[in-house]
């Protein structure tokens, strides 16, 4: 601690002297001598799992004092030995500078200098420089001075962007890119006497630096420490590689990824360790700062195919298993025999037999067995058997159970083989195709009972059919037969009934000249204009409307058709309307009038729910989505409410758009800030069963973020217009003093201007803080989408929903979150992405380029601009307008949202990604 205080004092003194830094040609050799005298070295493990020694001068007080003496040779007050050593070394180098050996000056040390890797963030570069030395050059004998020089294309002026001392073969570098100029990476080598060799340079242009790549290639799969490792290397043909990588991998049988983070070093390799033999792995990698996730398939062969020494592999599995039952003793004994051979056990001449078979581990697992519920209650039986034995006996609790036997081999290094399994089936499923002898009384009774049940069921079916026909005959005699009919709106006359198997057609599409097959003589037809109790309603479109104006069909109470097809054809195509509820219930358990999206067999991996189990609300349109309508659906069986999306019509573009959305929802992983997909609604359409007719999404009761922004802006602007004389602030107890101004307002219901200002500030702070939280959650949702390579292409306040309902935008629950939804325009890759709304098209898309993830960031910027302006219209002006509420605009959080929106609206390469936005909003504490 004392030495630290001395160094702090000396630093202040040296700054006051304003001493000029010594020349590089003298400072370099002096540093080298300080490193030889006081420097340390440490051993580090590289990404390739090799050891590497490097010079360590971090937190080295002696070296720092010596280096300080090199920079201040004229300072004589401090008499510490390390400091004076640096001063004397500097003076000696100055005296001997002219006598340096010419052969040392001409000898080259560095063969090549290059950018090892680069990360690009916020118009700045962070990376690592690597030097390749000449043959037989010891790395620790020299230090290096690294410079990055920018040359202007116009006047040729050079500017040093970065310079630093490097004590090893690679060192870190950072600089800001201010122009599209050429860059020169230059390095000079020094020993204890002076400069060694010539200065080496390498030129780069701006395109080289901006073309940072995160492509990795699989070099090899190798054996290491009883496991397999995959050796990955950056692709040198794709440009300068990125520095930071996150690698996730899993085998084909696993559902969870293992994550490893790397920072590229001089080995230029990444080693994924701990892989199992004879397995297929999926390795996914992504740079922390650029690019999209990329997957590589890694096939790990068997261990015996990778090595020549069998002692390096686990023992082979048991070759075969055999089982027999021994019931001679009155108990049930299960006898297990197996065959096994390993070359290490058979080699008796082997001198070193330290690696051989240790023992066998045999497990007997009870299985679920028909007609015996006790089997699943028994515990597994485990036994370790000596390596010389090939037989074991188990005492089984219940011989009337099915069992599974597992055998594993262990060697003396505790490595285990693959598991060999065998099923022992004692009880089969009952077969009704093979009859037992007649003497078996139990079987005879069972067959009689089964036959009796079949007769009763058949009789009930016949009675139900006869009763149904009887009811239809009564209804026809009363003139109350109901069927579908086309109705003219102006004259309100029936044009014709729907023929069997025909689709629902609007009135304008009915061919009124061709009525030969449909013309029926009508009797007693009453056409009503509104709903009526116990009426049947004909709905050609999804049954959500509440009035006859929603469709071209009217209510028909008495319509008798004197043809043979009316009752039978249309009796199941009837919907019952309840007059006092906004929901409708389908009378038929399998019939649905919504246009289908796709057959369920194409999406049979999705959760599906029957159409008749739902009640539906009134439909509404969602802006920007021309293909579908929305409504509220209540699942009667589960008691939950959902938002249902269903096709607007039966056109091919509509079906194609909703199919694409189902494909996106099928592969989209769960995320707390993404609207949850619950499943699909299936029903029968045009006598075709199992048709997907709707998409069930989580119901967000708080509405859209657009509505919340407008509500908050309305409240804050109204607060800004209030004065102490407003009628909404009554004087409850006393009256103000006429001569004391506003300070005399002492009643409970009044506020002074100062109190009012504080209240406005608090209200503005609440809204602005909520916007910060919402922005972080939207960024997290976008980061999740981009990680799985999905482009939303419609990120706006209309596509963001509040999870919970609220009554006051200034008094929202702390648990309120926002969720990104509306995936009707989402695409799994940028080649297919398109934007229908011209107001949401980024500038690069308007110029003909494809829509990429940076397009989502641009749309996020428009959403942030809407937040900080409280809904003020913003149409891509040069400057984002103010909200009109001065207290809100002055807040640090509002200014932070505005600044972030400007960054998101820059050119694509200058925009931050979703991960950076999430981190920035999450770390904001203003």
Question: What does DSSP assign to residue 294?
Answer: E
Average pLDDT, the chain: 77
Tokens of 638: 């589960």
Distances (CA, A) of 72 to 384, 562, 643: 75, 116, 75
Question: CB-hemisphere CA count at 13 Å for 506?
Answer: 7
Long-range contacts made by residues 901-906, C-beta under 8 angstroms, separation at least 24?
901/861, 901/862, 901/864, 901/865, 901/868, 902/861, 903/861, 904/857, 904/858, 904/860, 904/861, 904/864, 905/858, 905/861, 905/862, 905/865, 905/876
Secondary structure, 3-state, 105-148: HHCCCEEEEEEEEEEEECCEEEEEEEEEECCCCCHHHCEEEEEE
Rounded to 5 degrees, what are φ and ψ at 469? -65, -35
C-alpha to C-alpha distance for 926 and 924, rounded to whole angstroms: 6
CB 175 within 8 A of CB 164: no
Q: What is the torsion angle, in degrees rounded to the nearest 10, for the CA atoms of residue 634, residue 639, residue 642 and residue 645?
A: -40
Tokens of 782: 């976008």
Rounded to 5 degrees, what are φ and ψ at 377? -90, -15
| Residue among 889, 890, 905, 899 at smallest CA distance from 920 | 899
Q: Return the number of other C-beta atoms located less than 10 Å from residue 367's C-beta.
A: 16
Q: Could you report how far apart the first and last alpha carbons of the chain are, in Å?
A: 35
Query: E strands of 568-627, at which residues?
Result: 575-576, 585-586, 598-599, 608-610, 614-616
Question: What does DSSP assign to residue 827?
Answer: B
C-alpha to C-alpha distance for 54 and 412, rounded to whole angstroms: 39
C-alpha to C-alpha distance for 468 and 478, rounded to whole angstroms: 16
Residue 288's pLDDT is: 58
C-alpha to C-alpha distance for 594 and 650, rounded to whole angstroms: 9
Tokens of 386: 């000596």
Residues 6+ apart with CB under 8 A from 44: 51, 52, 53, 54
Whether the full predicted model's pTM is greater than 0.85, yes or no, is no
Helices (H) and strands (E) in the chain, counts: 18, 39
CB 839 within 8 A of CB 865: no
| Residue among 636, 676, 617 at smallest CA distance from 817 | 676
Long-range contacts made by residues 63-67, C-beta under 8 angstroms, separation at least 24?
63/34, 63/35, 63/38, 63/39, 64/7, 65/7, 66/33, 66/34, 66/37, 66/38, 67/30, 67/31, 67/34
Sign of the CA dihedral running 224, 226, 228, 229: negative
For residue 188, what are the β-bridge partners?
A: 145
Strand, coil or helix: what is 185?
A: strand
Q: Which residues of the chain have pLDDT under 70?
A: 1-20, 98-106, 123, 153-155, 177-180, 288-291, 329-331, 345-354, 428-444, 472-593, 721-760, 830-836, 874-878
CB 557 within 8 A of CB 528: yes
C-alpha to C-alpha distance for 835 and 862, rounded to whole angstroms: 15
Q: Return the number of other C-beta atoms located less than 10 Å from residue 674's C-beta.
A: 21
Distances (CA, A) of 233 to 120, 217, 225, 295, 851: 20, 5, 21, 14, 30
Residue 532's pLDDT is: 29
Tokens of 459: 């009789």
Measured N-to-C along each axis, helices 914-923 and 853-868 cross at an angle, to the nearest 10 degrees, of 30
DSSP, residue by residue, 341-370: --HHHH-TT-S---SSEEEEEEEEEE--BT
Strand, coil or helix: what is 509?
A: helix
* In 478-523, alpha helices (H): none
Element (H, E) at 645: strand 640-647
Query: How deeply is 82 buried, as exposed, middle or buried, from its count of CB atoms within 10 A (0-12, 13-18, 19+)?
Result: buried
- In whole angstroms, what separates CA 51 from the centre of its chain? 36
Residue ranges of domains in the chain, CATH in brackets: 2-99 (no CATH), 105-210 (2.60.40.10), 216-311 (2.60.40.10), 314-424 (2.60.40.10), 477-505+518-580 (no CATH), 598-698 (3.30.200.20), 705-726+751-923 (1.10.510.10)
The length of the chain is: 926
C-alpha to C-alpha distance for 136 and 133, rounded to whole angstroms: 8
CB 611 within 8 A of CB 585: no
Residue 354's pLDDT is: 64
- In whole angstroms, what separates CA 362 from the centre of its chain? 42
> What pLDDT digit, counting tens, does each position of 224-245 carry?
888 899 999 887 777 788 888 8
Rounded to 5 degrees, what are φ and ψ at 417? -85, 180
């Amino acid at each position: 601690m004392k030495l630290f205080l001395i160094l702090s004092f000396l630093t202040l003194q040296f700054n006051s002297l304003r001493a000029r830094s010594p020349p590089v040609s003298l400072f370099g050799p002096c540093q080298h001598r300080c490193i030889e005298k006081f420097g340390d070295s440490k051993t580090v493990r590289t990404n390739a799992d090799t050891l590497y020694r490097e010079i360590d001068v971090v937190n080295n007080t002696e070296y720092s004092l010596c280096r300080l003496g090199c920079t201040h040779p004229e300072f004589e007050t401090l008499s510490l030995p390390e400091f004076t050593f640096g001063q004397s070394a500097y003076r000696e180098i100055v005296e001997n500078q002219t006598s340096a050996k010419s052969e040392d000056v001409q000898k080259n040390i560095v063969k090549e200098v290059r950018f090892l890797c680069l990360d690009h963030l916020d118009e700045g570069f962070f990376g690592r420089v690597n030097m390749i030395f000449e043959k037989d050059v010891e790395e620790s004998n020299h230090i290096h001075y690294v410079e990055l020089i920018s040359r202007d294309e116009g006047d040729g002026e050079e500017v040093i962007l970065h310079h630093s001392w490097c004590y090893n073969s690679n060192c870190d570098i950072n600089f800001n890119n201010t122009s599209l100029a050429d860059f020169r990476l230059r390095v000079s080598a020094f020993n204890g006497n002076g400069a060694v060799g010539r200065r080496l340079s390498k030129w780069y242009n701006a395109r080289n630096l901006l073309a940072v790549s995160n492509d990795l290639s699989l070099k090899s799969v190798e054996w290491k420490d009883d496991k397999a490792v995959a050796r990955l290397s950056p692709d040198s043909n794709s440009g300068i590689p990125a520095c930071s990588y996150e690698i996730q991998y899993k085998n084909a049988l696993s559902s969870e990824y293992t994550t490893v983070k790397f920072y590229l070093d001089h080995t230029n390799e990444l080693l994924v360790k701990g892989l199992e033999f004879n397995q297929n792995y999926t390795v996914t990698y992504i740079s922390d700062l650029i690019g999209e996730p990329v997957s590589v398939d890694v096939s790990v062969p068997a261990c015996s195919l990778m090595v020549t020494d069998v002692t390096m592999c686990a023992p082979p599995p048991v070759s075969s298993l055999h089982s027999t039952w021994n019931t001679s003793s009155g108990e049930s004994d299960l006898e297990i025999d197996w065959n096994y051979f390993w070359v290490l056990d058979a080699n008796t001449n082997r001198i070193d037999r330290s690696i051989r078979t240790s023992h066998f581990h045999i497990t007997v697992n009870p299985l679920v067995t028909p007609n015996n519920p006790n089997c699943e209650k028994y515990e597994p039986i485990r036994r370790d058997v000596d390596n010389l034995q090939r037989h074991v006996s188990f005492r089984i609790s219940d011989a009337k159970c099915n069992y599974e036997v597992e055998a594993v081999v262990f060697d003396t290094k505790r490595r285990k083989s693959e598991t060999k399994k065998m099923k022992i089936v004692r009880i089969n499923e009952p077969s009704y195709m093979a009859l037992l002898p007649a003497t078996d009384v139990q079987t005879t009774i069972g067959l009689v009972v089964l036959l009796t049940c079949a007769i009763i069921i058949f009789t009930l079916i016949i009675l139900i059919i006869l009763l149904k026909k009887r009811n239809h005959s009564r209804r026809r005699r009363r003139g109350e037969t109901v069927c579908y009919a086309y109705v003219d709106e102006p004259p309100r006359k029936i044009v014709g009934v729907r023929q069997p198997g025909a689709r629902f057609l609007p009135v304008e599409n009915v061919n009124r000249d061709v009525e030969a097959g449909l013309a029926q003589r009508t009797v007693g037809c009453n056409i009503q204009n509104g709903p009526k109790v116990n009426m049947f309603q004909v709905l050609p479109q999804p049954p959500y409307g509440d009035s006859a104006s929603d469709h071209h069909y009217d209510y028909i109470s008495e319509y008798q058709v004197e043809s043979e097809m009316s009752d039978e054809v249309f009796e199941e195509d009837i919907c019952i309307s309840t007059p006092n509820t906004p929901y409708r219930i389908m009378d038929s358990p399998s019939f649905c009038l919504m246009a289908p999206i796709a057959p369920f067999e194409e999406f049979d991996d999705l959760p599906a729910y029957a159409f008749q189990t739902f009640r539906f609300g009134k439909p509404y349109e969602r802006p920007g989505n021309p293909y579908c309508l929305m409504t509220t659906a209540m699942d009667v069986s589960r008691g939950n409410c959902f938002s249902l999306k269903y096709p607007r019509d039966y056109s091919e573009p509509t079906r194609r758009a909703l199919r694409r959305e189902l494909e996106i929802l099928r592969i989209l992983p769960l995320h707390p800030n993404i609207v949850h997909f619950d499943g699909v609604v299936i029903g029968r359409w045009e006598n075709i069963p199992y048709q997907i007719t709707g998409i069930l999404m989580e119901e967000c009761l708080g509405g859209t973020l657009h509505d919340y922004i407008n509500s908050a802006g309305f409240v804050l602007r109204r607060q800004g217009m209030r004065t102490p004389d407003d009628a909404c602030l009554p004087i409850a107890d006393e009256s103000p003093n006429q001569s004391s101004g506003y300070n005399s307002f002492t009643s409970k219901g009044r506020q002074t201007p100062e109190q009012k200002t504080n209240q406005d500030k608090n209200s503005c702070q609440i809204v602005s803080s909520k916007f910060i939280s919402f922005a972080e959650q939207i960024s997290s949702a976008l980061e999740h989408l981009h990680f799985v390579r999905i482009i939303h292409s419609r990120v706006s306040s209309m596509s963001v929903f509040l999870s919970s309902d609220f009554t006051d935008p200034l008094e929202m629950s702390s648990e309120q979150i926002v969720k990104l939804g509306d995936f009707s325009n989402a695409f799994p890759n940028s080649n297919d992405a398109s934007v229908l709304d011209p107001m949401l098209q980024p500038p690069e898309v308007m110029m003909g380029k494809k829509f990429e993830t940076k397009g989502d960031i641009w749309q996020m910027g428009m959403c942030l601009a809407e937040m900080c302006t409280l809904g003020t219209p913003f149409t891509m002006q040069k400057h984002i307008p103010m909200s009109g509420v001065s207290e809100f605009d002055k807040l640090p959080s509002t200014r932070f949202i505005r600044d972030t929106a400007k960054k998101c609206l820059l050119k694509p390469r200058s925009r931050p990604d979703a991960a950076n936005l999430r981190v920035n909003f999450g770390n904001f504490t203003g």
